[in-house]
């Protein structure tokens, strides 16, 4: 039997300056799980300090307990134990809304730890017999002007990307005419054969008319999808817009923090692509359940990743074995912090494809020395008692 979980260590890292860009690579919350002599790493995709608090906060009542109450001291002999711990967290921290985000990073680390012990990649532990290469799309923000959008898109093609996603910036916040200019600039940038994807960043809330005003232009430039036109849980709005589009498909799911939200987008939102962030939905196991469901419903599963290559590897594992689900999000211009988190990087090959690591666990190694300058010291006290203090990164 494996040793029990002795420690869950959180490391809050940040760029020196945080801007108002919609760029989640500006800070990070790394998670180290220690069980005896074994170590696994994961990454939460959420506000770091809030996620730490969800792990250590005093219990409010029976189903509003800290995540630590369901994790520390548990043993992990296999995949079933990871699912068992996930169920404990879901039950015991039912009313602690940050719990899924906090546990996501822990759950990744548990898979990494188990894979390293078994000397198997996580995708094989998930039941896949082969890992299929994915076509990465360079994920970037719209430029401030159409000319900037063109320049950014061309730079991605020069780096070997065959697909580019433009999002956020001023798109959707101004006039339809301004958005049309950016859409045509984006198509010009990627060329006639490039895969063009567009991310609205929930800009229209539930305003179907505002989104519909851009549909003709999106179809004119042959955009493969329009991502997150509405709030993540606005299922009726998603479905209505999907019914208005002929060739354009709607994408969404990064805002899902449980499996049911992602399934609802498929069942009631009419999405053609479901995008899941393993750092938000509850980890790799939860993401795998969505991937299995998407395959059954003839919806394409896509990872959501905008941060480090640790998170990138974790996000690829749940659908590594699905040959027909080929596209993947790739952080094309992350902040330096995100690049420095790992020594291992999943670099596209000469054909522009990304390969899921065929190495134990997540197949990437955290670069402790490189992360150290970004670390922020955190101490949380309650009635004078310290409930959390930033751990030393050097120890296992």
Q: SS3 breakdown of the chain: % helix, strand, coil, rounded to 5?
A: 35, 20, 45
For each of the chain's 396 residues, which pLDDT tens digit applies?
A: 567 999 999 999 999 888 887 778 889 999 999 999 999 999 999 899 999 999 999 999 999 999 999 999 999 999 999 999 999 999 999 999 999 999 999 999 999 999 999 999 999 999 999 999 999 999 888 989 999 999 989 998 988 899 999 988 889 989 999 999 999 999 999 999 999 999 999 999 999 999 999 999 999 999 999 999 999 999 999 999 999 998 999 999 999 999 999 999 999 999 999 999 999 999 999 999 999 999 999 999 999 998 999 999 999 999 999 999 999 999 888 889 999 999 999 999 989 999 999 999 999 999 999 999 999 999 999 999 999 999 987 544
How many Å apart are CA 293 and CA 276, to the nearest integer?
Answer: 12
Domains, the chain: 7-120+368-389 (3.30.390.10), 125-340 (3.20.20.120)
Classified as helix, coil or strand, 376 is coil
Rounded to an integer, what distance in angstroms lies between the CA atom of residue 17 and that of residue 325?
37
Q: What pLDDT score was predicted for residue 135?
A: 95
Please give the C-alpha separations between residue 178 and each of 141, 170, 199, 277, in angstroms, as whole numbers.
15, 9, 15, 30
How far, in Å, CA of 27 to CA of 48, rounded? Answer: 8
Nearest CA to 170 out of 273, 45, 304, 20 is that of 20
Please give the pLDDT value at position 395: 45
Expressed in angstroms, the distance from the first to the final Cα of the chain is: 20
DSSP 136: E
pTM: 0.94
| Residues 296/290, Cβ–Cβ less than 8 Å | no
The answer to whether the beta carbons of residues 154 and 187 sit under 8 Å apart is no
What gap in Å lies between CA 116 and CA 344, rounded to an integer? 16
Read out DSSP for 288-332? HHHHHHHHHTT-EEEE---S-HHHHHHHHGGGTT-TT--EEEEES
Residue 161 has φ and ψ, to the nearest 5°, of -75, 140
Please say whether the dihedral angle defined by the alpha carbons of residues 333, 310, 291 and 10, taken in this order, is positive or negative: negative
In angstroms, the CA 294 to CA 274 distance is 7
What lies within 8 Å, CB to CB, of 14 at 6+ separation is 26, 27, 28, 48, 337, 374, 376
pLDDT given for residue 2 in this prediction: 63
Instruction: Give residue 393's pLDDT.
Output: 72
Asked if residues 127 and 79 have their Cβ atoms less than 8 Å apart, the reply is no
Distance CA 14, CA 78 (A): 33
8 A C-beta contact, residue 41 and residue 31: yes
Q: How far apart are CA 355 and CA 349, in angstroms?
A: 8
Token pair 């795998």: residue = 288
DSSP H helices, the chain, are 48-56, 68-71, 79-92, 99-118, 122-125, 146-158, 176-190, 208-212, 215-220, 235-244, 259-267, 284-296, 309-316, 336-340, 368-371
Q: How many other C-beta atoms are found inside a 10 Å radius of the C-beta of residue 296?
A: 9
Task: Tell me how far apart the alpha carbons of residues 68 and 55 are, in angstroms, rounded to a whole number.
Answer: 5
Give the H or E element holding residue 240.
Answer: helix 235-244
Token pair 């519909």 in the structure block, residue: 212
Best CA proximity match to 163, nearest among 194, 188, 185: 194
Phi, psi (degrees; rounded to nearest 5) at 187: -65, -40
Q: Which two tokens stand for residue 62?
A: 């029976």
Q: Give the DSSP letter string of 342-361.
A: BS------TTS-B----SSB
| Residue owning tokens 């101490």 | 379
Distance CA 248, CA 264 (A): 20
Q: What is the pLDDT of residue 141?
A: 86
pLDDT at residue 19, as a whole number: 87
């Amino acid at each position: 039997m494996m040793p029990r979980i002795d420690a869950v260590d959180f490391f809050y890292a940040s760029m020196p300056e945080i801007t108002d860009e919609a760029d989640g690579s500006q800070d990070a919350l790394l998670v180290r799980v220690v069980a005896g002599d074994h170590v696994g790493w994961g990454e939460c995709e959420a506000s770091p300090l809030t996620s730490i608090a969800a792990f250590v906060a005093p219990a409010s009542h029976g189903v509003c307990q800290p995540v630590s109450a369901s994790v520390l001291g548990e043993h992990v002999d296999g995949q079933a134990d990871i699912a068992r711990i996930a169920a404990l967290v879901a039950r015991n921290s039912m009313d602690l809304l940050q719990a899924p985000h906090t546990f996501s990073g822990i759950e990744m680390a548990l898979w990494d730890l188990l894979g390293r012990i078994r000397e198997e990649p996580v995708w094989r532990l998930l039941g896949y017999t082969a890992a299929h290469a994915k076509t990465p799309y360079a994920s970037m923000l719209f430029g401030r002007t159409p000319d900037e959008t063109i320049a950014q898109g061309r730079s991605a093609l020069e780096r070997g990307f065959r697909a580019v996603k433009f999002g956020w910036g001023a798109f959707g916040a101004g006039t339809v005419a301004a958005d049309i200019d950016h859409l045509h600039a984006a198509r010009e940038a990627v060329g006639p054969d490039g895969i063009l994807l567009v991310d609205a960043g929930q800009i229209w809330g539930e305003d179907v008319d505002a989104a519909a005003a851009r549909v003709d232009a999106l179809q004119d430039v042959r955009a493969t999808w329009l991502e997150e036109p509405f709030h993540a849980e606005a299922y009726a709005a998603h479905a209505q817009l999907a019914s208005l589009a002929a060739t354009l498909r709607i994408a969404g799911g990064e805002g899902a923090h449980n499996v049911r939200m992602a399934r609802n987008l498929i069942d009631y939102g009419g999405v053609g692509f479901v995008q899941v962030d393993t750092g938000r939905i509850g980890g790799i196991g939860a993401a795998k359940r969505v991937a299995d469901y998407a395959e059954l419903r003839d919806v394409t599963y896509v990872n959501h990743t905008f941060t480090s290559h640790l998170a990138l590897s974790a996000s690829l594992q749940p659908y590594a074995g699905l040959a027909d689900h080929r596209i993947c999000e790739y952080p094309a211009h992350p902040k330096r912090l995100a690049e420095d988190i790992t020594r291992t990087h999943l670099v596209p090959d000469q054909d522009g494809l990304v390969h899921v690591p065929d190495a134990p666990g997540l197949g990437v190694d955290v670069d402790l020395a490189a992360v150290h300058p970004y670390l922020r010291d955190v101490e949380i006290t309650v009635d004078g008692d310290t409930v959390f203090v930033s751990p030393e990164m050097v120890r296992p």
